[in-house]
Each structure stands twice: as C-alpha cells, then as structure tokens.
Structure 1
Amino acid sequence: MSGGPAPERRERYARPLLIAFLIACAADLVGVLTGPDALHLAAKPLLMPLLAGYAVARGGPRLLTAALLCGWAGDVFLLADSDPAFLVGMAGFAAGHVCYLVLFGRARGALPPAIGYAVVLIVFVALLWDGLPGGLRVPMAGYSLLLTAMAYRAGVLGRYAATGGALFLLSDALIATGVADWPQLPGHGFWVMLTYVAAQFLLTLGALAPGRGGGRPPRATEPPPVSRSAGPR
C-alpha cells in the first residue's frame, strides 16, 4: 500500500496546533502588555514552532516552514538585550525573508506598483540613519531592503499574504524606531508583537491557500472551492 493516509493523519494535528499557537500569542501579548516578563520569555519561543507545525500539518511548502523557523531563531536572539544578539536575530529574520522570497518567486499573480514600497524604504532609512548606532546602520539598511522586497513580493500570494508582508514591515519599523530612540507609542512592545504574529500568521495563510504557495489541495470528498473570479483570495 502507498503512504497516502499519512497526510490525513497529519491534518488531525492542524487544529490543535493552531489553537495552541493562538493561546501562545494571547499569553505573549498579555505578558508584554501587563507582565510578568516570565510569561513573555516563556511564550515567545513557542510561537513560530507551533505555527510551523500547523503549516506542516496542513501540507505547506518546506520553504514556509523554513521561513517560520528562521523567525523562531530571530525571536529567541532578540530576547537578549545586546547588540551582538540583535545582529544575530536580524540575520535569522533575514534568512526567513530569503525563504519567503524564493517561495513567492514560484507563484504567479498580480503585484502592486513597486514605487510605493521603494519610497517608503528610502524615506524611512534616511530618517532613521542619524539616530542608529554606527555599527547597526549598514546592517539595518541591508535588512530593510530585504524586508521591503519580501513585503512587496508577498502580494503575489493574494490579500492575506500582502497584508502579512505589510504588517511585517510595520512591526520591524517599530523596532527600528526604538533602536533609533524615537518617541514610542504607549505599549510599544505590545504593538511590535501584535503586528509581528499577525504578519507571520497571514503570510502562512497566504502560502497555504490552494494554488498559491503549495499547500495541499482539497480532497476529492470536499466541496469544490469558491471561484476566484471575484478576487485574489
């Protein structure tokens, strides 16, 4: 007999993993907003492994799993408050963006005009430049270019992924303003984490959509999907 039933067995874990991810997100956001710090330190490292497990259970592409696990590495290193850990964490996220870019490159779809993303990148880096520590200026500029390219290309997978890319851009922009000592919004860390987890979740949903990033198509016993003629989702 073939190994056909294995995907169905994996699918049984998809809902529990998704619920566990959402619970971990709630715990992390509560920890960031109200304390204690131990709640944030315990919940944050669980987020991306749980989301990656959900993607695997749904039959998602390996590049999506790799991107999420690279995000996990970035999450862990950013828990340490030091410049070397920040650079290593940024490298982890950069590797994740490369995975996303390769994944997006395999898809076909409409993209928004690139000029808007280019203007945002140039203006934001120019505004931040003088406030950044000297050793972080070039790495953050390079990272910002890679992140902006990922956010732009995410649109090829539809509205969920496009929104996820934009939220990732916003989340990292909030982090960058903190590094540059700009005035911060009340609950700064909460907004950073909220936009980040929403970004990764929406990127995952976009990549798992049948015909988009390589997620498993519906089984023959399931009802046919709604026609896509009305929109990209």
Structure 2
Amino acid sequence: MRRPRAAPALLAAFALTALAHLGALLAGSAVATTVTKPALMPLLAAHVLARGGPRPLAGALLFGCCGDTLLLTGGDTAFLLGMASFAAGHGCYLLLCARHGAPGGRRTYGLGGAYAVACLGTVALLWPDLAPGMRVPVGLYSLLLTAMALGASRARLRTGIGGLLFLASDTLIASGVADWPQPPVPQFWIMLSYLPAQFLLADGLLRAARPQDPPGPGAAPRPRAYGAVPARS
C-alpha cells in the first residue's frame, strides 16, 4: 500500500477539500457541504496508507468518515450510530497510542486528572439538558474520548494537541444536542477544530510508528523522537 510519491498529492487533495468544506459551511451551501464532508477522511486515510502507515490508523479515519456521513442525515438514531462509529475510531487511536506512547509519569498523571475533572464536569453540566435516551451514550462516549485524548498526549506533542482539539469539537456538538446557546454557524467551528484534530492525530502517529534505521557500525545511537517507544510485539 505504500506509495510515497502519491502521498503529497493526497494530502493536498485533503487540504483543498477541507477548505472547500469550510467555505461551503460559511456560505450555507448544503449541496457542497454534503458532497465534500464524506470525502475528507478517505483522502486522509489514503494519504496515511501511501506513507506506509498502520492499517488501524487508516481504520480510525474511515470510522470517522462513517460518523461524518451519518451525522449529515440527522435524527437521533443516525446520531447514536455516528457516535458509535467515532467511538470505534477512538478505539483504534487508543490501540496505537498504547503501542507507540511513552510510559506514564507525573505529567501524564497530572494531565489525566485535569482531563477527568473536565470530562466529569462537562457531563454533569450537560446531563439535565440531554434527552433521557442520550444521557448514557453521551456519558460513555465522553469517557472514551477523554481516554483517547489522554493516550494521544503520551505519543507525541502533535497527537496530544489533536486529542485536545477533538475534545473541543465533540464538546461543541454535545452542547448543541443539549440545546445550549451556539456560536454563529456552529458546524463551521466544529469542523474547524475537527479537521486539524484528525490530521494531527494521523500525522503524529505516523511519525511515532515510523521504524528507525539502526545506526551504522561505530555510530552513536540516535536520540529517540519525543514519546516514541518500540512497538509491542
């Protein structure tokens, strides 16, 4: 699946489609929004595979595509199915972050505590305003999303930022489901944080998973990249 020459073109196609999608949201073009949104994550997944990335990483992005497409259709059932698809993607990210993340330390424990407080606080605030059928699914999804964001912080700096942006994007979605006041064109702000989140997670995990060539005879060992550890067998 590795096609290094195709990778830059696929990344450029993803970037152009992302800009077109954001522009369509601002312009209020439902047709352009519907056409561009399902194409975003497959382009990024193709870029990942062209760079020789692991299949679970491409899988996480394709699960994101399923979630994006389901959320376009509207309705509670589609929302729950879309949330389940994103949850499967977070499971893929968690697997990769566990494989390529650095061991936990004081920084990880401190960040984990902050994420836990933020997650529980947000769910507690949203809970009374969510429909009864949404409360448990949103609460469980929030826990998984927070675990993914914390795991991402152990892989690389950019994956940590990606996890944080994913949290921000999905929190804005949840606030809309709870009928909280929204900013103008809320879908624009959701996608403005979601798109770089997915790219940073994908690019950071690609870099963390990249095998390092062994040093030549007599050469000093290379310093290990931030957060990179040997993959588990």
- TM-score after normalising by structure 2: 0.88
In structure 2, relative to structure 1, the CA distance for the partners of 1:198 and 1:38 (3 Å cut) is: same
Residue 99 of structure 2 corresponds to 106
Does structure 1 residue 94 correspond to structure 2 residue 87?
yes
Give the deviation of 1:108 after TM superposition.
3.4
Query: How far apart in 1 are the matches of 2:26 and 2:66?
Result: 23
Residue 133 of structure 2 corresponds to 135
Residue 179 of structure 1 corresponds to 177
Instruction: Check whether the contact 2:156–2:205 (CA below 8 A) recurs between aligned residues.
Output: no
Query: How far apart in 2 are the matches of 1:119 and 1:81?
Result: 31
Does structure 1 residue 193 correspond to structure 2 residue 191?
yes
In structure 2, relative to structure 1, the CA distance for the partners of 1:50 and 1:217 (3 Å cut) is: farther
Q: Which runs of 5+ in 1 are unaligned?
A: 1-5, 221-225
CA deviations on 1:19-54 (whole Å, 9 max, x unpaired) are: 000011001101111121111100000000000000
In structure 2, relative to structure 1, the CA distance for the partners of 1:28 and 1:86 (3 Å cut) is: same
Secondary structure (helix, strand or coil) at the match of 2:43 reads: helix
* Identity of matched residues, %: 49
Instruction: Check whether the contact 1:75–1:89 (CA below 8 A) recurs between aligned residues.
Output: yes
Amino acid of the residue matched to residue 41 of structure 2?
Answer: M
Instruction: Check whether the contact 1:110–1:155 (CA below 8 A) recurs between aligned residues.
Output: no
- TM-score after normalising by structure 1: 0.88
Instruction: Check whether the contact 1:60–1:216 (CA below 8 A) recurs between aligned residues.
Output: no
Query: How far apart in 2 are the matches of 1:49 and 1:143?
Result: 23
Residue 19 of structure 1 corresponds to 12
Residue 125 of structure 1 corresponds to 123
Query: How far apart in 2 are the matches of 1:94 and 1:47?
Result: 18
Secondary structure (helix, strand or coil) at the match of 1:11 reads: coil
- Residue 36 of structure 1: which of 16, 22, 29 is its match? 29
Residue 72 of structure 2 corresponds to 79
Within-5 A mapping of 1:156-175: 156-175=154-173
Q: Which runs of 5+ in 2 are unaligned?
A: 216-221, 229-233
RMSD: 2.0
Query: How far apart in 1 are the matches of 2:174 and 2:101?
Result: 32
Residue 52 of structure 1 corresponds to 45
In structure 2, relative to structure 1, the CA distance for the partners of 1:232 and 1:109 (3 Å cut) is: closer
- Residue 215 of structure 1: which of 205, 210, 213 is its match? 210
Instruction: Check whether the contact 1:41–1:79 (CA below 8 A) recurs between aligned residues.
Output: yes
Instruction: Check whether the contact 1:107–1:157 (CA below 8 A) recurs between aligned residues.
Output: yes
Residue 223 of structure 1 corresponds to none
Secondary structure (helix, strand or coil) at the match of 2:100 reads: coil
